[in-house]
Amino acid sequence: MVRYFIELSYRGTAYHGWQTQANGISIQTTLEAALTQRLGRPIYVVGSGRTDSGVHAKQQFAHFEVEEPINQSESFIYSLNCILPEDIAIHRIFPVQANHHARFSAIYRYYQYYVSRQKDAFQNGLTYHFRPHLNHEIMNEACKMLRQYTDFQSFSKARANVNHFHCRIDFTYWERINDDDLTFHIQANRFLWGMVRTIVGTLLEIGQGRMNLEQFEQIILAKDRNAAGRAAPANGLYLVEVGYPAEVMEHRA
């Protein structure tokens, strides 16, 4: 068997997340259908992570296996993109070693969350229209506090099927783009189910002055999802980068 990585991006608005669902269309199912149609055999893909319903990806990776090497030409990728809907785009397909795994070989994931005070007809479904003024400086103080901890059970959905709630956050901060727009940045080795959106929702409470830093720290220490704020909507969240060791990205079989 020959294993290939796919680099792709997608607008998640019309999909019930990455993972195949019994009750809705997913990115995974749509991608598998296109590959199966083009290659003439059933194809199963494994993603680097499971983005939630409505979440977007500027960069996502997945892998699949076939018995014989495939054509990696631009025309092959173009033909796949013609099969796929307009809101999913394949950028690269390249061979990797048999032990390279889209999910387990990844060493970090980087997300951004976009907030805007102004309604924009061209950004509908792509940013969170949030009218209140926000103090991004105090929100960044809370971000510094986040980096002091590794257990984020308070920011994980209660039904998360995981062995532990520990994550290594590499960086997290808010960037003020202009008077109306803010972007949240966070990178970690792994993320829990719903973690980024719940962190954002809680930080928005701090930015409005409805929660102080001491209360925020108590939420982290509580290890209880009920202690944190509500999750921010999915439409403002983007997976923007997935990192792998250099040997994975050398494009060698």
Domains of the chain: 2-105 (3.30.70.580), 108-240 (3.30.70.660)
Angle in degrees, 0-180, between the axes of helices 213-222 and 136-146, rounded to the nearest 10: 30
Mean predicted confidence (pLDDT) in 137-158: 94
Place of tokens 């690269």: 92
CB atoms within 10 A of CB 158: 10
Question: What residues are paired with 94 via a beta bridge?
Answer: 5
Torsion of CA 203, 208, 209, 212, to 10 degrees: 0
Among the listed residues 190, 188, 203, the one whose alpha carbon sits nearest the alpha carbon of residue 236: 203
pLDDT reported for residue 162: 79
At 55-92, the pLDDT tens digits run 999 999 999 999 999 988 899 999 999 999 999 999 99
What's the distance, CA 44 to chain centroid? 20
- First-to-final CA distance of the chain: 11
Mean pLDDT value of segment 186-212: 96
pLDDT band at 101, cuts 50/70/90? very high
pLDDT at residue 253, rounded to an integer: 45
Average pLDDT, the chain: 94
Residue 22 has what pLDDT?
A: 79
Q: Which residues are registered as beta bridge partners of 96?
A: 3
- DSSP H/E element including 22: none
pLDDT of residue 61: 98
Mean pLDDT of 227-241: 95
Helix (H, G, I), strand (E, B) or coil at 75: helix
* Mean pLDDT along residues 172-195: 96
Q: Is the pLDDT of residue 159 over 70?
A: no
Question: What's the mean pLDDT in 11-17?
Answer: 95
The more confidently predicted of residues 187 and 226 is 187
Task: Pick the range with the lowest mean pLDDT from 23-27, 64-68, 166-170, 249-253.
Answer: 249-253
Point out the residues that are catalytic.
Answer: 52
pLDDT of residue 73: 85
Give the pLDDT confidence score for residue 205 in this predicted structure.
97
Residue 117 has pLDDT above 50, yes or no: yes
**Binding site feature residues for substrate:** 111
